[in-house]
A and B are shown apart, each in its own frame.
Chain A
């Protein structure tokens, strides 16, 4: 009988032993990275969502960014660009001699026009594509392309640069093979060319005719892994040399000999939004019944929060304060450095002042429903959000607010926002940091459009004036005025500006430099330096 009993363990041991010799070894020339799953797995960039970090090795936008400073440069497909006086007509000069992968020839203006057509077609759902639409694109000559818009669009370079809404595909390949050709083996112009894709992974190889910085690694293998613990295990076991771990696991990786690489600039701006304030004159959707409609309550909520403590818990590797919700970023129009000096006074932790403000506003008795409804919803790239909202709930409760924490998914909040019935306080993020005009359009006084409502006559009037102005000094002054107003109105609960972080194995990777100012968060894969 014991002979029979021993069969099962023997078979399992046999299978395990066979397995040891069938595992695929990691090629020495191959760089494997465990990255978060893209929103969509398709070669049609325009028809997907949140794919930048997995498509950037092969597909490029018109405008490149410096790996260190993050500045838009003429080192990419476009060597220069200019607008006419009213920012409706944009002309891009293209770099000569840029080759498409797989022998599809030189990139010319016709490829840009073709790519624009693809990205603004019926099936295009890439985020922010609506801002790209509406132009007439024409090839002036082989290396000059012109976009003519019916309305001024001052920040078109951002859409073609940091936002990178449009990637450049080969027209010659499309003419010869159609979309099926792209599905099978698309040709881009990036430092790596596409080799193959299967569910959960994509393989690139170095493109030796790349016009820019050549990649160190011969192959780039991106594996899409959602489970953070699995990504850490891949890194520690040597299956992957790079992993985009959540910050809470970063110290585990570093403790095991891995190293941390950060973007040179902040990638994500994070805050918590007082939504539902659609309060232009006569707008019935205005949430004037909400406690946070009262500016004193918004200020009190901000004073109830100990940001230093939160930063220590949530972002031990660091996170900078943000001052005005998303729009104000150094280097963009209207930036006012003096607001940093007033942050402590207007937003700093001061429980006594918070309670005084609540009393002045008559909270809770003066409000029909004094509930402070906090929404916990996931934010991609910010796994800390649930803990952040729990902490917020604890701070507000400690201050005396009747706070309620409720779970909701991102899509539901989005739909409520578009339906102008998002009477909620919810987390939000902005990536990459946007130029002032784009941020104004997205986040403030855009009746019928905004996802996170802050609308009133003053803001709408000023933003209209800003959009109409063409004089740089005038625009800067108006933007500054708007930022000061928003800052003093406490239109949100500003949290932190955070850099993209990844862990890498120093035995394989020596260094990596990327700016963090593009939609991919991390990128510039050709700047990953091999350890030997």
Chain B
């Protein structure tokens, strides 16, 4: 088990290094932040002054090694756009908002997807199953930005039940969490349904029924616990999707998280902040997948020996 974990940690570090190279290279390819920050009537002297001030006049490889050296010490540099603030400081300031929304979105999608998936499996080829398929279809067909605007229009503008946007109490989280988690509902529901179908057909479930265990206990305790391993693996992917989805949802709902920060930083070509956001997203994604793999290995002992 320890060797397995060590190998996975080493692989994760290699992945982070590769991501740092890619993030740095893509930032450089997008152009200079000087062009983005300068007004239209600024002359070449002003451009030259800022290029020097921000260290962009150095060779690219030199810039990368300075960046890497500082990054290893936890310093991703000063923001270009948000003068006086460190890139990592900005990300850490906004990360709780994204984690809060993402976590809530996962809860919402799980609360919808798992019951619907179980019911669809139990009542296979009935109207319940058809309902589940419709949920899956809608989940994958509706773009989240569109869904977000529709939800705002119905629940905030017309019904006035919930706020339109911004970060505040629990009420502020409901609409963006639904819009963000809706896409996941479809995939998670289908995975739960197929896993449940397989488990419900197994010998031990039949035995439980013969022994007279109540049907709700057979389904929700015995079967679901064993079927959960497949959807659980999918949670690693959900974490990634939640972060990438946050870029759109945070814009629609003016949610001040890292997604919105990423958009602003990319628009302003603020390299240090873009790199900090990408590395943080990647770090969280890798960490979640590492946890899922660990849990998976714990649940399925065969994994450890591969």
- A: residues with CB less than 8 A from B are 1, 3-5, 7-8, 11-12, 15-16, 18-24, 37, 39-42, 44, 47-49, 122-123, 125, 127-128, 130, 179, 183, 198-201, 223-227, 229-230, 233-234, 236-239, 410-412, 414-415, 417-418, 428, 441-443, 446, 448-452
Cα separation A119 to B137 with both chains bound (whole Å): 56
Cα separation A40 to B264 with both chains bound (whole Å): 9
Taking CB atoms, residues of chain A closer than 8 Å to B41 are 127-128, 441-443, 449-451
- Determine how close the nearest CB of chain B comes to the CB of A375; give it in whole angstroms: 14
Contacts A125-B37, A236-B157 aside, 6 further interface pairs with beta carbons under 8 A come to A8-B114, A12-B112, A21-B171, A199-B94, A225-B254, A237-B164
Contact A49 B47 (CB under 8 A): no
Cα separation A12 to B175 with both chains bound (whole Å): 12
- Determine how close the nearest CB of chain A comes to the CB of B130; give it in whole angstroms: 16
Taking CB atoms, residues of chain B closer than 8 Å to A49 are 37, 39, 81
Chain B contact residues: helix, strand, loop or mixed: helix
Complex interface: stretch among B82-90, B231-239, B286-294: B82-90
- Given A16-B174, A230-B253, A237-B160, A8:B44 Cβ within 8 A: no
Taking CB atoms, residues of chain B closer than 8 Å to A122 are 53
Taking CB atoms, residues of chain B closer than 8 Å to A233 are 149, 152-153, 156-157, 164-165
Contact A414 B254 (CB under 8 A): no
Contact A4 B111 (CB under 8 A): no
From A1, A8, A40, A201, B112 is in contact (CB under 8 Å) with A8
User: Does B278 lie at the interface of the complex (its beta carbon under 8 Å from any beta carbon of A)?
Assistant: no
Cα separation A22 to B174 with both chains bound (whole Å): 12
Per-position binary interface string of chain B over residues 158-186, scored 1 when its CB falls under 8 Å from any chain A CB and 0 otherwise: 00111111111111111000000000000
From A223, A234, A412, A448, B44 is in contact (CB under 8 Å) with A448
Contact A128 B39 (CB under 8 A): yes
Per-position binary interface string of chain B over residues 258-272, scored 1 when its CB falls under 8 Å from any chain A CB and 0 otherwise: 001101100011000
- Determine how close the nearest CB of chain B comes to the CB of A487; give it in whole angstroms: 21
- Determine how close the nearest CB of chain B comes to the CB of A440; give it in whole angstroms: 11
- Determine how close the nearest CB of chain B comes to the CB of A371; give it in whole angstroms: 24
Contact B165 A411 (CB under 8 A): no
Cα separation A183 to B251 with both chains bound (whole Å): 25
Interface size of B in residues (CB-CB distance below 8 Å)? 69
Taking CB atoms, residues of chain B closer than 8 Å to A412 are 31, 35
Contact A12 B108 (CB under 8 A): yes
Contact B172 A4 (CB under 8 A): no
Contact A449 B164 (CB under 8 A): no
Contact B108 A1 (CB under 8 A): no
Contact B260 A200 (CB under 8 A): yes
Cα separation A416 to B128 with both chains bound (whole Å): 60
Taking CB atoms, residues of chain A closer than 8 Å to B261 are 199
From B115, B174, B254, A8 is in contact (CB under 8 Å) with B115
Cα separation A42 to B220 with both chains bound (whole Å): 52
Closest to B43 in A: A449
Contact A230 B254 (CB under 8 A): yes
- Determine how close the nearest CB of chain A comes to the CB of B55; give it in whole angstroms: 13
Contact A123 B42 (CB under 8 A): no
- Determine how close the nearest CB of chain A comes to the CB of B99; give it in whole angstroms: 14
B1-46 interface with A by 8 A CB criterion: 31-32, 35-46
Closest to B113 in A: A8
Contact B84 A200 (CB under 8 A): no
User: Does B256 lie at the interface of the complex (its beta carbon under 8 Å from any beta carbon of A)?
Assistant: yes
Cα separation A425 to B268 with both chains bound (whole Å): 23
- Determine how close the nearest CB of chain A comes to the CB of B212; give it in whole angstroms: 16
User: Does B119 lie at the interface of the complex (its beta carbon under 8 Å from any beta carbon of A)?
Assistant: yes
User: Does B122 lie at the interface of the complex (its beta carbon under 8 Å from any beta carbon of A)?
Assistant: yes
Closest to B253 in A: A230
Taking CB atoms, residues of chain B closer than 8 Å to A11 are 111
Cα separation A451 to B220 with both chains bound (whole Å): 68
